[in-house]
Amino acid sequence: MFSSFRKKLTMSTLTLTLSDAHLSIIKAIYFNRLVSSLEISKVTGASIPTITKHIEELISGGWIVEKGFAQSTSGRRPVVYSLVSDRNYILSVAMDQFYTRMVIADLSGTFVTEIAETEINLNDDPSALEKLIADTNTFIENSGIQRGKIFAAGISMPGFVDVQDGNNRSFLHTEEITLRDKLTQDLGLPVFIDNDSSVIALAELKFGIGKTNSEAMVINLSWGIGLGMIINNKIYRGFKGYAGEFSHIPIFDNDKICSCGKRGCLETQASLITIEDSALEEINNGAFTSLKIENGKVEITAVIAEAMKGDSLSIKLLSYAGYQIGRAIAILIHILNPEKIVLSGRASKAGKFLLPPVQQAINDYSIPTITEGTEIIISKMGFDAQLVGSAALAIEHISKEFFV
């Protein structure tokens, strides 16, 4: 499927035929931003003379540039390199069950367009895939970036995503060809897909807490509750690649039916959908609150905004969800004993209301000896983590087959 785009990429973006060795250097610089040849050698495993040769070729090809000298406490300061940021671009698409965001990033990882958001309901809209393709093509056309300079796209989405065969077992089903190949065909550029929570964890691994911590759990607080696992400095995916379905840990004795069809899942008590439903029920029961019902529902954005203003009901709903999430995190801590637990995703904006009850639940349900030293934090990347990770996904998987 990718072969039909090779000539386009060769003619429009390259004066150098890229080898996997060249690409390993491009990736090392992308994920570390500003690096010396010695640092590249450590990351790639190639010798300094080999790295130096390929760096010279990449400079001639317009991919990288010298950026002065590294700081040093003694001895000769090494030259450091960065990618030529506007040499090429990456399309980054972050999907959840109801909304899709997209942006174009340059090779420094900087977003060079505004983040566009469109409503795509993965649960109920049979035309969701066609809408995704149409809206993405429209976004590219209106971006001001030539399509030929976008050398790959990373698209993250909820569901059981099989990274190897390029399909989503939960949403966006295709006939005859894989979802990945369908998107590649209709967008006109190589596309890579992955689960949203794994991609958020990838962003943390490459640019966040993964720089200093080898073991971390990244919780994606969204319409469901996902989990990306960093274990031994790698994303852990499990046997079939579906590890991290945190939403469906059965920890409650209730009769609420989860989206998976089971009862008692974490999602039934702590997801954003549950918070919205609880807010609506409380208002209908006469609760005193500044929240308003609009179009028959209460938006989570309103709950967070009103909590920021001191609305007691909004704070109570977020705190309750945080406590339930903390109960589930206690299970993770007993099993995996991570260094860090990062709260990320759409609800990370409400971190100040979630963090204290999460910590309280961990204190209530965990053995102190195991929890000692484990830190619970809010992601510094905020809601952009999924977009950052989707771009990283494209860079991580690009290989020479796309440029020959």
Model confidence pLDDT, tens digit, residues 59-112: 999 999 998 887 765 677 889 999 999 999 999 999 999 999 999 999 999 999
Whether 188 is in a domain gets the answer yes
Same domain, 250 and 294: yes
Angle at alpha carbon of residue 227, lines to 344 and 154, rounded to 5°: 75
Whether 245 is in a domain gets the answer yes
Whether 179 is in a domain gets the answer yes
- pLDDT for position 241: 84
Position 14 pLDDT exceeds 60 = no
- pLDDT for position 313: 97
The range of the structural domain enclosing residue 303 comes to 209-380
Please write the tens of the pLDDT for every residue from 223-252.
999 999 999 999 999 888 889 999 999 988
**Which sign does the torsion angle of CA 281, 286, 287, 289 carry?**
positive
Q: How far is CA 107 from CA 55, 82, 104, in A?
A: 16, 9, 10
Q: How far is CA 9 from CA 134, 146, 147, 349, in A?
A: 22, 12, 10, 39
Same domain, 125 and 79: no
Q: Looking at 4-18, 155-169, 250-264, 360-374, which range is the least confident one? A: 4-18
**Encoded amino acid at 78, one letter:** P
CB atoms within 10 A of CB 324: 23
Q: Looking at 109-123, 243-257, 306-320, which range is the least confident one? A: 243-257
Same domain, 132 and 176: yes
- pLDDT for position 403: 56
* Gap between the Cα atoms of 169 and 312, Å rounded: 40
Would strands 150-157 and 99-106 be described as parallel, antiparallel, or unpaired?
A: unpaired
Same domain, 180 and 243: no
Whether 353 is in a domain gets the answer yes
The torsion angles phi and psi of 277, rounded to 5 degrees, stand at -65, -40
Q: How far is CA 300 from CA 45, 117, 277, 372, in A?
A: 47, 16, 10, 33
- pLDDT for position 12: 40
Same domain, 129 and 57: no
Q: What is the DSSP string of 331-369?
A: HHHHHH--SEEEEESGGGGGHHHHHHHHHHHHHHHS-HH
Whether 277 is in a domain gets the answer yes
Same domain, 34 and 66: yes
Q: What is the band of 7 on the pLDDT scale with cuts at 50, 70, 90? A: very low
Same domain, 64 and 162: no
CATH number at residue 296: 3.30.420.40
Which helix H or strand E contains 221, and what residues bound it? strand 216-221
- Of 83, 103, 135, the one marking the end of a domain is 83
**Which sign does the torsion angle of CA 53, 395, 79, 16 carry?**
positive
Same domain, 240 and 289: yes
Average predicted confidence (pLDDT) for the chain: 91
Position 221 pLDDT exceeds 90 = yes
- pLDDT for position 33: 85
Please write the tens of the pLDDT for every residue from 170-207.
999 998 899 999 999 999 999 999 999 999 999 999 99
3-state helix, strand, coil in the chain (%, to 5): 45, 20, 35
Helices (H), 143-290: 179-187, 196-207, 267-270, 272-284
170 DSSP assignment = S
Position 1 pLDDT exceeds 60 = no
- pLDDT for position 236: 93
The torsion angles phi and psi of 113, rounded to 5 degrees, stand at -125, 165
Same domain, 99 and 188: yes
Whether 13 is in a domain gets the answer no
Q: What is the band of 359 on the pLDDT scale with cuts at 50, 70, 90? A: very high
Please write the tens of the pLDDT for every residue from 245-286.
999 999 888 888 888 889 989 999 999 999 999 999 999 999
Same domain, 359 and 396: no
- Of 35, 63, 83, the one marking the end of a domain is 83
How many Cα atoms sit within 13 Å of 191 on the Cβ side? 25
Position 137 pLDDT exceeds 60 = yes
Q: Which residue has the higher pLDDT, 125 or 183?
A: 183
Helix or strand or coil: residue 156? strand
Whether 7 is in a domain gets the answer no
Same domain, 79 and 219: no
Whether 38 is in a domain gets the answer yes
E strands in 123-162: 150-157, 161-162
CATH number at residue 78: 1.10.10.10
Same domain, 396 and 326: no
Q: Name the β-bridge partners of 343.
A: 219, 378
**Which sign does the torsion angle of CA 113, 226, 166, 392 carry?**
positive
Q: Which residue has the higher pLDDT, 124 or 377?
A: 377
Angle at alpha carbon of residue 110, lines to 21 and 228, rounded to 5°: 75
The number of distinct structural domains making up the chain is 3
- Of 50, 83, 116, the one marking the end of a domain is 83
**Residues 6 or more apart from 312 whose CB is under 8 A from it?**
288, 289
41, two tokens: 């050698």
For tokens 């570390």, what's the residue? 32
